[in-house]
Amino acid sequence: MKLQEYVSKDLLRKAGVPVPHGQVAESVDQVEEIARRLGPVAVKAQVLVGGRGKAGGIKLADTPEDARQVAQQILGMDIKGLTVEKVLVEQQQKIAKEYYAGITLDRARRQFVLMLSSMGGVDIEEVAAEHPDAIIKVPIDPSFGLLAYQIRDAMFRADFDRGAFKGLQGILGGLWRVTQDKDAMLAEVNPLAVTDAGNAIAADAKIDIDDSALFRHPDLAQYEAESINDSVERYAAEHNVPYVKLDGNIGIIANGAGLAMMTMDAVRRLGGQPANFLDVSGGARAEVVRQAIQIVLMDPKVEGIVMNIFGGITRGDEVARGLLEAASTMDIKVPIAIRIAGTREAEGRKLLEDSPFTPEPSLDAAATTIIRQVHEKHAAPVGGQ
């Protein structure tokens, strides 16, 4: 679960990490009021997408009136398809130096790693690609945690400002505490700044919480909704259905993540554009299948659905029943092709015999059928002219 900047900074602040004085706002009145208290401010769009600065989502304002004006521009604006609903209003910082600091999982080592770079304030993935030596990595022993000497060693190697050493060290210690205490998959401060006055401060922050550990953090539940941009994804997440919105028009439903990915790949390979990834998971019952179809259809771009079921724990007849149930309770206007194999395949096929959903002999056949039908629908009006 990705946290907005203002939430990330709040967690850091509580862990003793200095962040700019600031407050989140949802209206221009609020922004003006906050700016009146804080003096010259930065108004920052709270959207979970990169490049909001370039998109005009971050603006400085020296007076409350200016703040109101820039807030008017930013609140409600569209950044890469997302509407800005909140802004963070922060005291402006006079920044002398910018660093990068992040803690993330190093999957190959099976442990977390601290990454520091003196090239802060820019996209770290670009730094990693172009100047890999400019990133200092410190593996974190999961049993001992990030140790003080490791932080110092990394800071010296990354050539961090010796004048602000203590403050920077404190921030990195706090970053690890937050990572551990809040079960973060990623905790990033970029830029990690040193001000003209020589103070270290977390000027921007990005924290991604491990979804599997959310049960330990009821205080973060309130941010779940705003962590998901797409409304269908949000709905699916609330119903614990692994669903990812994609750009195409062919809905995908399969049981199992690997199978769903394969199905998505097959549709693309055969010339179609997947509209989503949806995993009904092992052991799916009829009701779950019905719900999956409903979720896929919530995306208005969907013009056809490919279902791919390999029965292991999941039973073919249960899936067939779910599909028939969906058809009888919903007004399904798009074609659905289904491929069933494995456990209770025969029973499933039988159930679907007299329905519009005659099982296809293979995944490729099912995908081809739907791709063709969608294509024909688009072609039809043209052909009919």
Positions marked catalytic: 100, 188
Nearer to its own copies, 130 or 181 (CB): 181
At residue 133, what is the residue type? D
Does residue number 212 form part of the binding site for its own copies (CB under 8 A)?
A: no
Beta strands per DSSP E along the chain: 2-3, 22-25, 41-45, 58-61, 78-79, 82-83, 87-91, 95-106, 111-117, 135-140, 184-195, 200-202, 205-209, 243-245, 250-254, 276-278, 304-311, 336-342
Q: Which of 148, 221, 225, 346 binds another protein (CB under 8 A)?
A: 148
Partner interacting with residue 378 (select from another protein, its own copies, none; CB below 5-8 Å by kind)? none
In contact, 317 and 345? CB cutoff 8 Å: no
- Rounded to an integer, what is the distance from CA 89 to the centroid of its chain? 24
Partner interacting with residue 335 (select from another protein, its own copies, none; CB below 5-8 Å by kind)? none
Does residue number 231 form part of the binding site for another protein (CB under 8 A)?
A: no
Q: Could you say which residues in the range 33-62 bind another protein, by CB under 8 A?
A: none
Nearer to another protein, 356 or 361 (CB): 361
Structure tokens at 256: 């199992």
Q: How would DSSP label each residue in 334-358?
A: S-EEEEEEETTHHHHHHHHTTSS-P
- Here's the x/- map for another protein, 240-279, by CB under 8 A: it reads as --x-x-xx------xxxxxxxxx-xxx-xx----x--x-x
Q: How many residues bind its own copies (CB under 8 A)?
A: 3
Does residue number 176 form part of the binding site for another protein (CB under 8 A)?
A: no
CB of 143 to its own copies, least distance (A): 4
At residue 215, what is the residue type? F
How long a stretch of residues is the chain? 385
- Here's the x/- map for its own copies, 127-146, by CB under 8 A: it reads as --------------x-xx--
Nearer to its own copies, 76 or 142 (CB): 142
Strand 304-311 with 336-342, pairing:
parallel
Q: Could you say which residues in the range 108-137 bind another protein, by CB under 8 A?
A: 108, 110-112, 124-125, 128-129
- Rounded to an integer, what is the distance from CA 250 to the centroid of its chain? 22
Task: Give the position of tokens 């049981």.
Answer: 255
Q: How many residues bind another protein (CB under 8 A)?
A: 65
Strand 111-117 with 58-61, pairing:
unpaired
- Here's the x/- map for another protein, 68-107, by CB under 8 A: it reads as ------------------------------------xx-x
Tell me how many helices (H) and strands (E) the chain has: 12, 18
Nearer to another protein, 75 or 151 (CB): 151
> What per-residue string of b and e applies to 168-187 under the rule 16 or more CB within 10 Å gives b?
bbebbbbbbbbbbebbbbbb
CA 47/CA 55 separation, integer angstroms: 11
Q: Could you say which residues in the range 318-357 bind another protein, by CB under 8 A?
A: 341-343
| Site residues, its own copies (CB under 8 A) | 141, 143-144
| Site residues, another protein (CB under 8 A) | 104-105, 107-108, 110-112, 124-125, 128-129, 141-144, 147-150, 152-153, 156, 162, 165, 180, 183, 185, 210-213, 215-216, 242, 244, 246-247, 254-262, 264-266, 268-269, 274, 277, 279, 282, 310-313, 341-343, 362-364
